[in-house]
Chains A and B, each alone.
Chain A
Amino acid sequence: MSQNSEQQRLLSEAYQSAKAADNMIVPMAKTDVIILQAAAQAVATAGFKQKRFMLPLSAAASILIVAGVVLKIAVFSNDPALSSAVTVNKKQPMYMLQRSKHSAEEIMLQQINLLLDQGESAQARSLYKKFLDLYPHYDVSAGLREKLQ
């Protein structure tokens, strides 16, 4: 076994010393250029592919956002509850109109209207007073104000 490895070591040394003659064994310059160009082109193509991939993606994202906004507006305009809110508070900015569907102000006003309808004017006025304390800047419709006076 050790004789084998010694033989192998000597042969390896001889081979390595003989390798000095390999100086002339080099790839053709043309081959080097082709390989380096191919490597560079692969990098460039990868970059292009990434950019090309981004374009349809951003277009699809834009379409989705626009479609989403359009759908939201369509749903919003068809909602009767919201439509009435729009009628009552026309002067309010959009974000307040959207919010009013579930807001405490709207619920209080509905309760006041309900009390008035039921003929409970005293309770309605008392609730309206509380309402004004809580929301002094709220733009209550002129019709409601008249009913409460």
Chain B
Amino acid sequence: MMIPTIKKARSGLVTDDQIDLKESAQDLSLQESSDEALMQAYAKNDQLAFNVLYERYRLSLYRYMFKQTSMPEAVLNELYQDVWLKLINSRSQYQVKASFKTFLYQIANNTLKDYYRRESVRSIMSNLEDDTQIQDKAKLPDDRLQENELMEKFRQALNELPQDQRDVFLLREEAGLTSVQIAEVMQVSLDTVKSRMRYAVSRLKEIID
């Protein structure tokens, strides 16, 4: 999906409109800006900067969250939306101490953790009455991955991993974070990240082979 305002700005290059040309020039410079610079620009109320950031992380963040757990698409979208809304609300507090990517995925990870916590409480409360519903939830994402057997295998294998190991693996493979950044997001030591990664890789390999 192309973000509407960026599309408008790009179209300016074609229509030769003076204002649109100005917007396009700004847009092009934004496209080359670092994530951190964009976030700071958005904190100073530059809407275009946010749009560029959103375009950059839209898919990777969504897919990272998608693979974290089996949940209905509507719930996933709600959580994904929550992450961005939290980012929007905390934009004035953003400081360029950590990378933007780390900042974003930290919000995502905390949002997911809160969700798991709420869900575990809810499932205890409902005394597992709606088993069928849970099975239906699990089926939903699988339907979308029938085309690729390997990814299906990966997905099943990931579901069998302990949460911590799955987090480390997905932050590396889906979000593209380094071990140091993963340690920052998960607030654990670098050695812990490396050890979790080792376990995750050997476990995944066992399952997939």
Contacts and interface: CB of A to CB of B under 8 A. Distances in A.
Interface residues of B, number: 41
B85 A38 contact: yes
Contact of A36 (B4, B46, B77, B89): B4
Interface stretch (A7-15, A66-74, A86-94): A7-15
Contacts of B84: 35, 38-39
A4 B59 CA distance: 30
A55 interface: no
B108 interface: no
B144 A24 contact: yes
A36 B1 CA distance: 12
Interface string A1-35: 00010011001101111111110111111111011
A15 B154 contact: yes
Interface in B152-196: 154, 172-173
Main secondary structure of the interface of B (DSSP, over half): helix
B100 interface: no
A44 B63 CA distance: 30
Interface in A28-68: 28-32, 34-36, 38-40, 42-43, 46-47
Contacts, number: 94
B43 to A, nearest CB: 9
A27 B50 contact: no
Interface string A86-115: 000000000000000000000000000000
A16 B173 CA distance: 7
Contacts of B197: 8
A7 B202 contact: yes
Given A20-B148, A38-B88, A27 B77 contact: yes
- Name A's interface SS: helix
B47 A40 contact: yes
B62 interface: yes
Interface in B1-26: 1, 3-5
A12 B63 CA distance: 16
A11 to B, nearest CB: 5
Interface in B77-118: 77, 80-81, 84-85, 88-89, 91
A19 B151 contact: yes
Contacts of A34: 81
Given A12-B173, A36-B4, A39-B54, A31 B198 contact: no
Contact of B1 (A4, A19, A32, A46): A32
Nearest to A32: B1
Nearest to A34: B81
B122 interface: no
Interface of A: 4, 7-8, 11-12, 14-22, 24-32, 34-36, 38-40, 42-43, 46-47
What are the 8 tightest A-B residue pairs by CB atom distance, in nearest-first order? A21-B148, A18-B150, A18-B151, A21-B151, A35-B84, A31-B77, A39-B50, A43-B45
